[in-house]
Amino acid sequence: MSHLPLTTLSEDEKAFREAIREFSLSEIKPLVRQMDLDAKMNPDLVKKLFEMGLMGIESPEKYGGAESSFTMACLAVEELARVDGSVSVLVDVQNTLVTNAFVNFANSAQQEKYMPQLAQEKVGAYALSESVSGSDAFALKLRGEKKGDKYVLNGHKLWITNAGEAEIFLVFANIDPEKGYKGITGFIVEKSMSGFSVGKKEEKLGIRASSTCELIFENCEVPEENVIGEVGKGYKIAIETLNEGRIGIGAQMLGIAQGAYDAALEYTKTREQFGKAIAQFQGVQFQLAEMRTQIEAARLMVYNAARLKDAKQDFILQAAMAKLMASQVAERVTSRAVDLFGGNGFTNEYPVEKFFRDAKIGQIYEGTTNMQLQTIAKAELAR
């Protein structure tokens, strides 16, 4: 079956990966340090991501997308992360969360209106988290009230990735708190809608060029036709989309780990101590061997989960394991890379300190490490 050769890529996938690699090195790498210092995504680079077709990888061709596979999206996320985790997560959220939700849950009118914009020019964001709604994803305080042919939203969202650049937001609010999570409904909110604004931008440890902002809803009026999916079924959209998104985060962490490893490997070949390159010392060789093995193990798990998703087979357990493994590997490998660079690794003149900072978020967003462990344990106990 097509999903079984885990790390074997088709010729099209290899060509696509190589194109993304060349794009990352030529267009992104020269901007990485300044974007990190400024904590801001270069707007011209965002335009180039659209021009490259990276913002609509799975979108149908009739909407201006590439109509490709989920695996292709993960390959793009991985390759971008080898150079910059911030650019990687912008593309990841656009494809594995926002576009996926439109493909699977939006009606034809919504798809025709919004998917061409998302594929060609407008950044999307996925707004679920709140101050009291993190791992307890459905403890939402954002309220929606039906008034005529509109819903009026009031409340806040926090830690929303892409919020600074986005013009289209998938927002989850509870329209009937007495029903608990069965009152949660998804809405398509445009940045220009009355009563909606983007608030404080967070100053972060890592992925600093990726915007993470508060969203403010003050009597925000959303047309009834902008309900995505069924009323009261927003929890279903959230769960299913995040299950897919976790594979994308696994791919991001895989790329970050690979980027740090690549830098460390080259550095150890040129850095000399005691009259020879440190790569010639067995202790260093063993560390590199462990790093490479861990990355390959994570790659097997991420690719397997993506292939299962493309094959329309059950992938929830594999997605949780892939994110768990890849995020842990990213933290270990990037930390070891800093060690191998010695004092240089602790400065921002070399890339590994940024890989190290960027890696930490992988164990937090789109489901913490503990939530992945819980998912895995529940699946095993139910066998």
174-183 pLDDT, tens digit each: 999 999 999 9
The tens digit of pLDDT for each residue in 305-347 reads 999 999 999 999 999 999 999 999 999 999 999 999 999 999 9
pLDDT given at position 2: 37
**Mean pLDDT within 235-247:** 95
**Mean pLDDT within 188-202:** 98
125-232 matches 11-122 in CATH topology: no
- 186 pLDDT higher than 90: yes
Q: Are 93 and 329 in contact (CB under 8 A)?
A: no
Neighbours of 243 (CB within 10 A): 22
Q: Are 149 and 192 in contact (CB under 8 A)?
A: no
Active-site residue identified among 61, 202, 366, 380: 366
219 phi/psi in degrees, rounded to 5? 55, 45
**Mean pLDDT within 226-246:** 96
pLDDT band, very low/low/confident/very high, at 112 (cuts 50, 70, 90): very high
CATH 1.10.540.10 for domain 11-122: yes
pLDDT given at position 268: 98
Q: Where are the domains of the chain?
A: 11-122, 125-232, 236-381
The tens digit of pLDDT for each residue in 72-92 reads 999 999 999 999 999 999 999
What are the residue ranges of helices labelled H in the chain? 11-23, 32-38, 43-51, 70-81, 85-92, 100-105, 108-120, 234-270, 282-310, 316-341, 352-359, 369-381
- The rounded percent of the chain whose pLDDT value lies above 90 is 95
Q: What is the pTM of this model?
A: 0.96
**Mean pLDDT within 28-38:** 98
Q: Count CA within 13 A, CB hemisphere, residue 3.
A: 19
pLDDT given at position 1: 32
- 247 pLDDT higher than 60: yes
- The rounded percent of the chain whose pLDDT value lies above 70 is 98
- 278 pLDDT higher than 60: yes
DSSP state of 28: I
Mean pLDDT across the chain: 96
Looking at domain 236-381, which of 1.20.140.10, 1.10.443.10, 3.40.190.10, 1.10.1510.10 is its CATH number? 1.20.140.10
pLDDT given at position 134: 82
Architecture of domain 125-232: Beta Barrel (2.40)
**Mean pLDDT within 259-264:** 98
- 6 pLDDT higher than 70: no
**What token pair was written down for 186?**
């998804």
Residue 296: active-site member: no
- 3 pLDDT higher than 80: no
Amino acid at 99: T
pLDDT given at position 7: 64
**Mean pLDDT within 52-65:** 97
